[in-house]
Structures are given as structure tokens and as C-alpha cells.
Amino acid sequence: MVKLNAAEIKYITRYLEAGKDLPEQYRFLLFEERQVELLWNGKTDIVCDIVLPFQVIEQIDEPRSEIQKAIVDYSVDKRGRQKSGWTNKLIWGDNKLILSSLKNGPLRDEIKKQGGIKLIYIDPPFDVGADFSIKIEVGDNNDEFTKEANALEELAYRDTWGKGQDSFISMIYERLKLMKDLLADDGSIYIHCDYRVVGYMRLILDEVFGKNNLVNEIIWCYRQGGRAIDTYSRKHDTILWFTKNQGNHLFYADNIRVPYEGTGGYQTSGKGVTINGKIYKPNELGKIPEDWWDIAAIPPMSAERIEYPTQKPEELISRIISGGSKEGDLVADFFMGSGTTLAVAEKLGRKWIGSDLGKFSIHTTRKRMIDVQRQLKKEGKKYRSFEILNIGKYERQHYVGVNPNLRDEERRKQLQQKEKEFEEMILRAYSAQPVDNFKTFSGKKNNRLVAIGPIDLPVSRLFVEEVIKESVDKKITKVDILAFEFEMGLSPNIQEEAKEKGIELALKYIPREVFDKRAVEKNQVVFYDVSYVEVKPHYKSDNVAIELTDFSVFYNQDTIKHFEESLKNGSTKIAVENGKIIKIIKDKEGITQREILTKNWADWIDYWAIDFNYEKKKEIIHIEKEKEIIKDGKLHVKDYQSEYIEEWTGGYIFENDWQSFRTKKNKTIELISIYKKCEPGKRKIAIKVVDIFGNDTMKVIEVNIKGE
């Protein structure tokens, strides 16, 4: 800070006492600043340091052939599935919390063992007016239903652009600082952007990584898409390549060479050219590309195209990954979208981490990566298993304000303190009024009483039985139970039991959107009824197959009446009401007709999978614990240690043994699985169904394999 004279101090004091802003000149006198600095409203150097445990909810691994077992660099069990070594990670949730938990949590050590993250590619949202709706084909006639982004995705996007450039810069600045810390010392980051934000992005990266660590500004040129009539057509994006340490970055030029072009010099001459007495000959592999890339966008009819917004061509991502990493390196994408980075990384033999806030993104990528595994298996190449993770109940605790690192007793006390605010928040989102003098009920909506399940546990049969008991005692006939999770197998059995006692019982999921006050205030929160699955096992000696026999959903997007009123003459629209997808047709005279597209329950199913030996693999998380410090025989202040212990959550990991799903090429889905050979005796089989919106439902059954 510059030393001020008495007159300057007096002058500044007058402004402060009057509560006025200081003249600009005094900012530079009072504070030492960079010569060039990007400033924005809300700028802070505070970076998220929260650590939330990751929950593994599913593991997917296409069984390997005997030939493939011999080429992998990890151990494989007798089923042909990977049992050790790095498992690729597909993570659902807010990438700020994910990045912070990766940076500060136990998974950091596992990342370091892989050599650290060598390359990060991100394509963050940079289109102010972007449309993130997704086209979903329904029924046999290829009718398209538009799936809008859910409220949480819309709110995250609104946070990004709600205050213009300020909010976008704040969002990306903090995340880039977290990403830099996760990069290996010789790692690089590639940021994809367009003309709207490239100027800001360059200045942010200069500040986070240092302007001397810019390696290339790459221009991606393409020709596809519409043409402008009053300006030059915008047909390029920018990819900014920054390294963590200039001069120590990875660049594998021979992986990305392209054919020489042109007619003169040594480029087309096998003899080469002499310059200052030295002969320069063309490289047999070709030349290193310039910093402008003429790579086509994905054509409309391409097999690669999956109709996902912001999807980028694999050729583009392949050049980035091939040039910036080698086989076996770890790469990451924290704005994953349709999973192109992960698909290319797997095909090129890289390890990977991917994350996205959108549940449909996770589901789309899951199907895509299974296809990649199948393709590599067919080609006799190696591939790794991947697991789907989230920060589920711990993320909910974070939103509510409960510290997951507290000791059990302290955490219970904090939960009790937060319980009332939590219930009030849920009731507001559900448009229900609070009620008193009930043991299990918290609110009332119209003529239905409302019970709310716990934050961090599934609603159990015992919880529901307590609700039913109070309903019988107090002659309550209509009940809604709201919960983030329900114990598997509750619906529809428990509802039938309630019906026999004269109670109409509805089980509804609490969506993550309830934690955003704006979504609640704007009535954007949708509580979905629990779907249920019916299955039938088939036996052949010691082999068992599973058949799907029913799947029920109860979605509502909007009222049909609203759509009919807003629909123009001579047009059509597709809507969801009471668990049915309905096509509304309004002719030129304004007469409307309705056509139900989901004619069969199977039309709702996009994907289903089976774990033929559920409860075989326990779900283990790493929890940081307090440790008592004892000195001189006395108990001192308790302190946190930078070590983690393993803890069983009480749940199990769904190991995906078999699956069937719809693709752009093949829209059919099998309703009966293959027969799977099993050891004789009792076992539990888990069936997971994902509907066309990306929401999943699971059912667990017990079977008894008789054997020969």
C-alpha cells in the first residue's frame, strides 16, 4: 500500500464518513493492483472447500473374452469383469461440489496414483439464449416429444447468465481455480467457447493460470448450419489451450499429424529443401496441424449424432485428447453433456472422469459408454469398467446446512434444529399448509394430509406403517408421503395394504429443485409419483432370466386443456398428462384431436438392467472423522485429521450384469433378459428401469436357484 500524506488521509476520511464512494484514483493509491485485471461484481478469491462423500450407485462392465483378459493392465475376475485398478467415473451433481470434493477429499489420493489429471476439456454453457430441450422419440411412428430441462438445470443456467456476464464469470472463475488445482503439474486445460464469451474467458484464464501459460488459441472452423443474410456467417468456435506450467506441458505431435498440403517447397518433395546448408525433409507421418482446424460439425444423419444439445464431433475431441495425453493418462470433462469426451477417451485408451448436473446427461452417457464397451469388445480391444456416482444425501445435507463431518450426536442435534425449516421449505414447494398435533403429519394440501420423510435416509416400511396407523386412529382417508428416497419394494404393496384399511396413499419423490427458493416461489417444483416395476423370473435348471411384465408411471407436465388453448390452428404438440404422452392435433378450423402415443407400458422404458447377485458388493464411503488428541495423559481439544476411514452405508452397489436399451439406430427394447447361470441357493436379484425422461426405478426380488 502506498503511504498517504495528511491531506490525502483527511480527504479520504471525509468520503468514508459521508458514506460515499472514493474517487477512482484512490483505489490505486490504497491498494496494490495488477497492471491489467478483470473485475466484476461479486469477485472473490474464496473457493469452495466442501468435502462430500461420493456414493457409488452403479457399476457397469461388459464381461471380457479370454483373449481380452490377456491384454488388460488390471486384474479380472472369473466373470470377465474388472476387479482392481482404476475404475472410470461418471458423476451426477453440481460440478462445484464435485470439484471441491475431488480436490479436498479421499479420491484426490486415488487421482494422484494415476499420475493426476493430465488433460481437462470443458465446453461450458456460453449461449445466452440456448435451448437445452431434448427431442425424445415416442411410440412406433417416430413422434417426437420435447423434454425440457428440469427446473434445477434451468436455475443453474439462470445462475450462470441471470446477471449477465458477471454471473457467468463468477461461475466459471471458481470452477477453473478448482480444476487448476486438480491438474497434474504437466497437465493442460482446453476450454471451448464462442464469440460471446471468448474475450472474458481469455482474461479469466490469464488470471487463473497466468498469461504466460497460454499455449494456443485454436480456431475450429465448420460449414454446417444456417447461413446469415445480413452479416458474415459465424462458422467458428474458439478453443483456448492453457497449461499449468509452460514448458512442462504434454504435447504428442506424432499422434495428430495430418497430410501435407500445397504445391511448393519440401512439403511435396521427397528430396526436401536446403535452408542455411541444412536439409529439411517432410515427416513421413505428416505435418503438425496449424492453430485453425477445418473439422466438419456432425451431419444430421450421422450415426454419431444422438440429438443432444451442444454435442461436438468426436474428430474434434479426438485431436485434443490425442495431442494432449497418451494411452493410460487420466482425462476429465466437468461439463460433460452427451459424453463425447468420455467416449473418445475410452476409445483412445485413456482413463476418465466426467460429470454433469443433468440426470438425462448421465443417462445418455451411460448408454453411450455401454455401446463403446460393446464396440471395443467386438474389436478385441481393451476397455475399463465405469461407475456412476453422486453425492446424493450428502448434497442434501449441504443444501439444508447439516455438516456431514460432525460426530453422530452433534449431527443429530443439528438435524433437529434444521428439521422445522426443512419441513416448511418442502411444504411451500408442495403448496401445502403446516398442521399441528399430529405425530407423523407435517402439512395438509386440499383434503390430503402430508407426511415428509427424512433428509438422509430412505422412507422405510416402518415409517409408512406409522403413517397408516395414525391415519386409521384419526380416520384420515387421503395421505401423501413425500421423500427423497423410498425403500425398494414399497410400492405398490404398501399402497394396497393402505387401501384395504380405507386409505388412499400416494408416494411422491421430493426433487432437488426444492432447495432453490426461486423454483419454489415460481411454482416450478414437480413432485413425481413413485413408479413401480413388475417382473417375473424364468428358470432353466441353474439358469435364471428376468421378464418385465409391467411398468407404471404417473407423470404430468401440464394440462391438456392449457396446450389446446395455446396451440395454433394447423399445428400439433405433444404433452404429458396422468402418465400418458398425448399428441394434440389442431386442424385449420381449430378442431382438436388427441392421440395417445404411449399405447403400451413398455413405451415408457428407455433402458433396463439386471444385477443377478445383488447385495454382493457393499457400498463403502470414506468419512473424515475427529480424533481425540491426548497429551501428557490429558484429553485436549479435539481436532480434525487429514485421514479418512471406510464406512459401510448399509446399501449395495448395483453391478450391471445385463441391459437392454433403445438407441437412435434400434428403437426396440427386449422385455426378457438372457438366461444367467447362477450358483444354487437363495439370492437377491435387482432390476433397474430408466424411463424416457431419465428417471430410474429399482426393484429387488428374491429367487431360489434349484440347480440340476
Confirm or reject CATH 3.40.1350 for domain 397-529, answering yes or no.
Answer: yes
For residue 281, count other CB atoms closer than 10 A to its CB.
11
Bridge-based pairing of strands 681-691 and 605-614 is antiparallel
pLDDT of residue 128: 47
**Three-state DSSP class for residue 643:** strand
CA-closest candidate to residue 296, choices 233, 372, 236: 236
Cα–Cα distance for residue pair 147/277, rounded to 1 Å: 66
Cα–Cα distance for residue pair 43/173, rounded to 1 Å: 9
Can you list the residues of the chain whose pLDDT is less than 70? 1-2, 24-25, 27-36, 126-164, 262-272, 393, 397-408, 411, 415, 488-489, 491, 518, 524, 555-566, 574, 578, 625-643, 707-708
For residue 12, count other CB atoms closer than 10 A to its CB.
16
pLDDT of residue 270: 55
Cα–Cα distance for residue pair 287/557, rounded to 1 Å: 54
Residues 6+ away with beta carbon under 8 Å from 5: none
Cα–Cα distance for residue pair 330/14, rounded to 1 Å: 57
Q: Which amino acid is at 35?
A: Q
Beta strands in 597-695 (DSSP E): 605-614, 618-627, 630-631, 634-635, 639-652, 654-656, 658-661, 676-677, 681-691
Bridge-based pairing of strands 528-529 and 504-509 is antiparallel
How long, in residues, is the chain? Answer: 708
Cα–Cα distance for residue pair 677/609, rounded to 1 Å: 16
pLDDT of residue 208: 95
- List alpha helices for 282-440, DSSP H: 314-324, 340-347, 359-378, 392-400, 408-429
Cα–Cα distance for residue pair 98/104, rounded to 1 Å: 10
Q: 14: burial class by Cβ within 10 Å (0-12, 13-18, 19+)?
A: exposed
pLDDT of residue 530: 84
Cα–Cα distance for residue pair 354/375, rounded to 1 Å: 20
Q: Exposure string (b/e) for 368-406, b if CB count within 10 Å is 16 or more?
A: bbbbbbeebbeeeebbbbbbbbbbbbbbbbbbbebebbe
Q: 546: burial class by Cβ within 10 Å (0-12, 13-18, 19+)?
A: buried
Residues 6+ away with beta carbon under 8 Å from 665: 303
Read off φ and ψ for residue 192, nearest 5 degrees: -95, 125
Give the CATH architecture of domain 532-617+653-705. Answer: Sandwich (2.60)
Cα–Cα distance for residue pair 26/21, rounded to 1 Å: 10
For residue 457, count other CB atoms closer than 10 A to its CB.
14
State if pTM tops 0.85.
no
Beta strands in 257-314 (DSSP E): 273-275, 278-280, 292-294
Q: 142: burial class by Cβ within 10 Å (0-12, 13-18, 19+)?
A: exposed
Confirm or reject CATH 3.40.50.150 for domain 55-250+290-390, answering yes or no.
Answer: yes
Bridge-based pairing of strands 443-445 and 433-434 is antiparallel
Q: Which amino acid is at 240?
A: L
* Consecutive H or E run containing 388: strand 386-390
Residues 6+ away with beta carbon under 8 Å from 465: none
pLDDT of residue 149: 52
pLDDT of residue 17: 82
Cα–Cα distance for residue pair 445/364, rounded to 1 Å: 36
Q: Are 293 and 235 in contact (CB under 8 A)?
A: no
CA-closest candidate to residue 673, choices 548, 550, 534: 548
Q: Is the dihedral of CA 66, 68, 73, 78 positive or negative?
A: negative
Domain boundaries of the chain, sorted by first residue: 55-250+290-390, 257-287, 397-529, 532-617+653-705
